[in-house]
Structure 1
């Protein structure tokens, strides 16, 4: 990627799950139920994006009940699981909202995310994202997946768009 692109125009921010919203570990119970561990700082960052008028979407290649519950808990209705072609999913989502790709951002961590990351107006990855992905995004978080990387990117978007200071100031009143 040439010069990093800014998230100033982002109106819809999409996120991968495993390795981004979680640390990428896959945990299963003896009954085969998948367990995911999410970070509360990340969750509040997603809520702050929504409060600033930025729609949050989750586009994941895997499906899980835990993710359904987490998305519902965060008020995220744009949840797409079991998606093989994330870029096509994003394009359909943008088309339904009358938005261009330049108004979209995405955070992914592995090479399978590169088609959607390269299609967006802003692309990010956690610090522990695949090394090839880190070379092709606009922003590499200092934090790792499932450990605050999502919150860091949310704060970066909010700061770039001029919302972060006012949102944080509310907590000092």
Structure 2
């Protein structure tokens, strides 16, 4: 069971989700090939979670510092908007929320590391994966039980959809 601390925003009232990529959709490792190309490992159950959220008409975006094309490729496969090469994520999150017609209080942000702290604090619900770095975990309102790249996105999808069903 995910652990929660008060946020003022209930899980059932979340209208949209922004995700970090590395450490959330991946286990934070990268495979470097001899030609310099990089590869990551993602969990197929996370893809099913994204599909379930899409079917529930939950707007979603990936906001990543990483510039590698693997982020865009995975986002395209999951039919997610990807904003990458973003060093200062909070202004990008605010603009995306505005463009979607939502306040930051309506948004959950799922992250794992120090470059996610501002978004974890700024979003209505800050969520981290189980193996998040302590600085990110301290900033979050919710910590999942699954590690990044090991079904954490699916866990959050299940929790959000269950909260909406009981509301």
**Is the TM-score greater than 0.5?**
yes
Q: CA deviation at 1:2?
A: 6.0
- Please, what is the CA RMSD of the aligned residues? 1.6
Q: 2:152 aligns with which of 137, 149, 154?
A: 149
Whether 1:7 and 2:11 are equivalent positions in the alignment is: yes
Cα distance in 2, alignment partners of residues 141 and 73 from structure 1 = 24
Pair 1:87-2:87 in alignment: no
Q: Which runs of 4+ in 1 moved over 6 A?
A: none
Aligned length: 162
2:139 pairs with 1:162:
no
Corresponding residue to 2:36 among 11, 23, 32 = 32
**Conservation of the 8 A alpha-carbon contact between 1:9 and 1:102:** no
With normalisation by structure 1, the TM-score equals 0.88
- Structure 2 residues not aligned, in runs of 5+: none
**Normalised by the size of structure 2, how large is the TM-score?**
0.91
| 1:128-167 C-alpha deviation (Å, 9 max, x unpaired) | 001222122121111111001111111111111118xxxx
- Matched residue SS, 1:38: coil
Which position in structure 2 is the counterpart of 1:110?
A: 113
- Per-residue deviation, residues 40-96 of structure 1 (Å, max 9, x unmatched): 0011101111110101100000022222221111111x2101101111111111111
